[in-house]
Each structure stands twice: as C-alpha cells, then as structure tokens.
Chain A
Amino acid sequence: MGVNLGDLLTKEKCSLKDLSGKIIAIDAYNALYQFLSIIRQRDGTPLMDSQGRITSHLSGLLYRTANLVESGIMPVYVFDGAPHPLKAKTLAERKEIREEAEKEWKEALEKGDIETARKKAQQASRITDEILQQSKKLLDLLGIPWVQAPSEGEAQASYMARKGDVYAVASQDADSLLFGAPVLVRNLTISGRRKLPNKQVYIKIEPELVKLEETLKNLGVTREQLVDMAILIGTDFNEGVEGIGPKKSYDLIKKYGNIENALEAIGKHDAIDENTLKTVREIFLEPEVTDDYKLEWHPPDEKEVIAMLCDEHQFSKDRVMTALQKFQRMKNMFGQSRLF
C-alpha cells in the first residue's frame, strides 16, 4: 500500500504526549484496515458479535480514538472518495490477494495450522460498505468529526495539513508526504505492541514523525523530485520501473534531476509513458480536494453508543463506559468554534 520510500525518510520518535493539544487528520481507510487485520483472535477469526458480524473495526475505532483523545489529541478521520481510474489495477490486485488469502486461511484452519491461518486471515481483511457506514455512524455518535474526501483520503488530509487546519496526517504509508503534508505521523492508530510477522515476538511500537521539510532538506531534493522518485519506484497509480527501488531511484533523480532525464540516461525512456507520468504527477501535486468540512468535536452520545455497541453488537458495557469517560478530556473543545 502506498509508495515504499524505505529508509529515505527522516524519522523522529515521539510520544502521544508530544502530540497533545494538536489536531491530527487520520487516514480512515488506513486505520480501519489496521483494525481489521490486527484485532483478531489467535486463529485469525475477526472479532464478531453473536450473529457473526465483524466488529474489529468498531472495537479499534472506539478504544484507539479514546486513547488518542485521552492523550489530548484531537482526531479527525478522513475517508477515501472515488478512487482515481489509475488506481484500478492496484485495487484489482489487492482484491485478488485477499481472495487468495481467504481461501488459504480456511484451508489452514481445517489443517489446524493456527500460525498460517492468522497470517492469511490478516491478508484477507477487507473494508466493506457496511464497515464504512458503521464506522461513520460510530464516529458521529462519539462526537468525532470525519471528512469525506472527493478522491484520495490522504490527499484531502494532506491538504488540510498544508492549510494549517490540522497539525499532521496519520497514516502508515508515506503518500501524504508526496501530497505535501508538512508532518506525517506513523504508528498512531496501532497499539503499543505489535507482533512481528511470522514470529512469536512482540515489539514495542511508538509513534514517529516524518517532517516533509526536513526529509527534503536531508535528501537535497524538492517535493516534485520526491514525487518523481516515487513514480520510478511505483505508486498506487503506476507500476514503476523494474529493478528500481528507493535507493536507486534516489540516486537517479539526484543525478539527473527528473524522470525524463533519468530514464533517458539509463536507456529506458519508454518505461513510463508520457501520459501516465503527467497524470500521476498531477495526482500528487494538484490532487482533487475539498474545503467542505467542519472540524467540531461534540460530547459522545453515550446512550446511542451503548445501544449500538452493547445492545446491537454485544460489547462489554463496562469497557465501553470506561472508554467513553476518556472523551471528557475533550470537553473544552465540545461546541468550541475556531478563529479560522
């Protein structure tokens, strides 16, 4: 998912406390996908209510948002709109991987291979319309704002960050930097412990910041050149050039200035066609965004949250109440308007 810029980013560790008082735009698809893939039972079965309906996303949204709010962070979730036509291929590939994984998950379950089952189940995670509707409904009941992006959610979130309406964009992948977000926060929506893939080892996960300006300064490139690097490596919107990873792409752009010159120099001038290049650059540098959003926080509607989570989906009432109490930390922002 997203471009792989590897070690080229300038990262700094931070804690939730450092982000206190700040508004952060969370890439909702990215967060939901994490909740769906991580919040599962040992054999990979997602959390479900008594009717077998998946509830991993609701659990993640409630408890993680409560923790962020308790740390003084003001979250706003940004949902993807219609995908750009160039993303169709990526999406089709992801679907294929999911379907394959789902098959393998069931096979592994039958064989009793719990380890493989869990891995495959995670890969099979998928965000359905129902999951989206429920997530938006829960956010409304929690009094947390969400924004519907016209197209890419990360583009919209980055636009809000560029305008100064939010401090940073929270996502696991680095696309928001290409979209011009001044600050990217990673590891914000996952809990403090994460299991290493394929191993029974847990590592402590801490949020980290990537600042665009610093990354560009350290690499000695412009944002336009960073976008060119990404296009060479491959993005959600184009395939990239075979054999070119983060390191090589950096060397090429650094040496030749842009994609056209770089491809010419290595004798692959038709590796990326002119139209695709132009369109992908436009997607990142002049994305479709909207000013139609309001950042307002309201007290959670406790009765309705309990009706939705406890009555409908059998969440523990005590745990939900404990989480809801954390939202009181924001009471200063309830109904509070902003200067601009």
Chain B
Amino acid sequence: MFQAKIKADILKKMIDIVSPLVNEVKINVTPAGMSLRAVDPAHVAMVDLSIGASAFEEYKADETEIGIDLDKLASVMKLASSGDTVEMELDDVSNRLIIRIGNLTRKIGLIDTTGMTEPKVPNLNLPAKITVKASELLQGVKASESISDHIALTATEDAFELFAEGDTDTVNLKLPKDLLIELNAPEKCRSLFSVEYLSSMIKPVKGDQPLTIYLGNDNPIKLEFDFADKNARAIYLLAPRIESE
C-alpha cells in the first residue's frame, strides 16, 4: 500500500535530481519515507535520494517497490503549477501509479523491478569536507563549461579552488576559507571531474542553499544537500577523470 500527498515542487525537485543520470528507477517505499539509489548506465555517477515521510502532507505506506519511468512522471508533473499538491496512489492490481493534480488523473504503468539491483556504494577515501553556497560553485562550473570538458577541484587548509584549462583560455575560482560555510582539509586534496556531469549535479540545488562536498585525491567526489525543508536529502557520487599525460 502506498498513498501520499506531496507538494509538486518537491516531486519536481526529485525528478530534476535523478533524471540527469537515469530514466528508469526503482523507488523503495517504507513507512518512514521514499528512497532510491541508482547509477547512470556508464557507472560514472550515482545518486542516493531519500524523502522522509515528514516531507509529505499525507503519507501512508507499507514496504513496497515502485519501478517508474521518470520521463513519464516528468511529463505529468509539467502540468502542475508551483504550490500545487500532488496525490499519489499505488494501484497494486493494475500495477500503475495514480497521480492526481487537481481534477487531472494520470495513471502511469510501472516497470518490472526484478533485475533492477541496488548499486553498492564504493569505498571512498575523501579527507576534505567543504560546505559552500551552491550558487558560488555553479558560477565557476558554468564559466568552465565553454572552455573545457573537465575541471580540477582542489581543497587546501585555507581555500577551495576550481580550475579549468582549455586550449587558450583558463577559468579559476578561488574561495578562501572565510567565504565558505565550512572548510576542513587536513591535507591537500585534488581531483579532476567532467564539467557536464558536475554541472548537472549542482544545478538542482537552489541558489543560496548549502552544498557539502567531500573531496579526495583522484577519488570520486561526494556531493550532499538537503531539500524540502531538510526533510529530504540527496547524495551524488561522481567518479574522477584520469589525468591525461
């Protein structure tokens, strides 16, 4: 059983967070809330998302799994205005998810979740922790998009830095410790990442919201942020680019 009401904005946010990586997902439903973990087909990035029952206006659920095509969910959510409340109900018999927005009802045929395995979180060694306003980081990433397909992120004891280098141009964004919400880097950490992936992961975070970054040396990056008034949390992992010789 699954029956819930939620603000359209939260559901849209969930789609924005997950859909850059995967379209078909398995959502785990428990009495405590909804969660999902998925990797993109190339195994480069992972998303781990949980929305607590408290993020919903109404929430009644037993343990179950919902396999859904996010493109379908996104197409119906486009019809919802900001501030709308969305009703969701699982129809076990016809295996469909019923979505109600005002007087509109859309029934979405679900996908078979057998064979959709839960990816394991790899072991990570990420000594540096940085918390930054999402908008600050996004500015640097956007500036890099036009000149290179990868950027280097570096954390030292007193600053967090982004650097991109193209054939002729460079972009550098340096955030000293006092401009950061938190910086804890016991050693210098530096890894290289794809701009495209990174940008698609930072965009869903709203402007001034804090974004926590865990960084290592030639290790994946872990990005963590809350939404829905801290009743929901998203974690991204992104594998690094290997420095070309």
A positions within 8 Å CB-CB of B: 21-23, 74, 164-165, 167, 182, 213, 296, 331-340
B41: chain A residues at CB < 8 Å are 21-23, 167
Given contacts A213-B114, A336-B239, A337-B240, are A331 and B42 in contact (CB under 8 A)? no
A338 touches B44 (CB 8 A): yes
25 contacts between A and B (CB under 8 A): A22-B42, A164-B117, A165-B43, A332-B149, A332-B194, A333-B42, A334-B149, A335-B150, A335-B241, A335-B242, A335-B243, A336-B239, A336-B241, A337-B240, A337-B241, A337-B242, A338-B42, A338-B44, A339-B44, A339-B45, A339-B119, A339-B237, A339-B239, A340-B43, A340-B122
B positions within 8 Å CB-CB of A: 39-46, 114-115, 117, 119-120, 122, 149-150, 194, 196-197, 220, 237, 239-244
Cβ contact of A213, chosen from B45, B115, B119, B244, cutoff 8 A: B115
Closest 10 CB pairs of A and B: A338-B43, A22-B41, A337-B239, A21-B41, A335-B242, A339-B239, A335-B241, A340-B122, A338-B239, A339-B122
Tally inter-chain residue pairs, CB-CB below 8 A: 59
Q: Secondary structure of the A side of the interface?
A: loop
Q: How far is the CA of A340 from the CA of B220 in the complex (A)?
A: 11
A333: chain B residues at CB < 8 Å are 42, 44
Whole-angstrom distance between the Cβ of A338 and the nearest chain B Cβ: 4
Q: How far is the CA of A80 from the CA of B169 in the complex (A)?
A: 45
A332 touches B196 (CB 8 A): yes
Given contacts A164-B117, A338-B239, are A21 and B44 in contact (CB under 8 A)? no
CB nearest neighbor in A for B243: A335
Whole-angstrom distance between the Cβ of A48 and the nearest chain B Cβ: 36
Residue from B42, B46, B243 whose CB has the most chain A CB atoms within 10 Å: B42
CB nearest neighbor in A for B124: A339
A74: chain B residues at CB < 8 Å are 42
Whole-angstrom distance between the Cβ of A165 and the nearest chain B Cβ: 7
A296: chain B residues at CB < 8 Å are 242
A22: chain B residues at CB < 8 Å are 41-42
A338: chain B residues at CB < 8 Å are 42-44, 239
B243: chain A residues at CB < 8 Å are 335
A335: chain B residues at CB < 8 Å are 150, 241-244
Q: A22-B41, A337-B239 are in contact. List 11 more A-B contacts (CB 8 A).
A: A21-B42, A182-B115, A213-B114, A334-B149, A335-B242, A335-B244, A336-B194, A338-B44, A338-B239, A339-B237, A340-B120
Whole-angstrom distance between the Cβ of A277 and the nearest chain B Cβ: 30
A339 touches B241 (CB 8 A): no
Whole-angstrom distance between the Cβ of B24 and the nearest chain A Cβ: 12
Residue from A21, A334, A337, A339 whose CB has the most chain B CB atoms within 10 Å: A339
Whole-angstrom distance between the Cβ of B232 and the nearest chain A Cβ: 23
Q: How far is the CA of A167 from the CA of B120 in the complex (A)?
A: 17
Q: How far is the CA of A304 from the CA of B241 in the complex (A)?
A: 24
Whole-angstrom distance between the Cβ of B83 and the nearest chain A Cβ: 34
B239: chain A residues at CB < 8 Å are 336-339
Q: How far is the CA of A22 from the CA of B44 in the complex (A)?
A: 11
B119: chain A residues at CB < 8 Å are 339-340
Q: How far is the CA of A318 from the CA of B243 in the complex (A)?
A: 31
Whole-angstrom distance between the Cβ of B202 and the nearest chain A Cβ: 16
CB nearest neighbor in B for A338: B43
Q: How far is the CA of A224 from the CA of B44 in the complex (A)?
A: 34
B117: chain A residues at CB < 8 Å are 164
A332: chain B residues at CB < 8 Å are 149, 194, 196-197
Whole-angstrom distance between the Cβ of B98 and the nearest chain A Cβ: 26
Given contacts A182-B115, A213-B115, A331-B149, are A336 and B44 in contact (CB under 8 A)? yes
Whole-angstrom distance between the Cβ of A164 and the nearest chain B Cβ: 7
A23: chain B residues at CB < 8 Å are 41-42
A21 touches B40 (CB 8 A): yes
Q: How far is the CA of A332 from the CA of B42 in the complex (A)?
A: 11
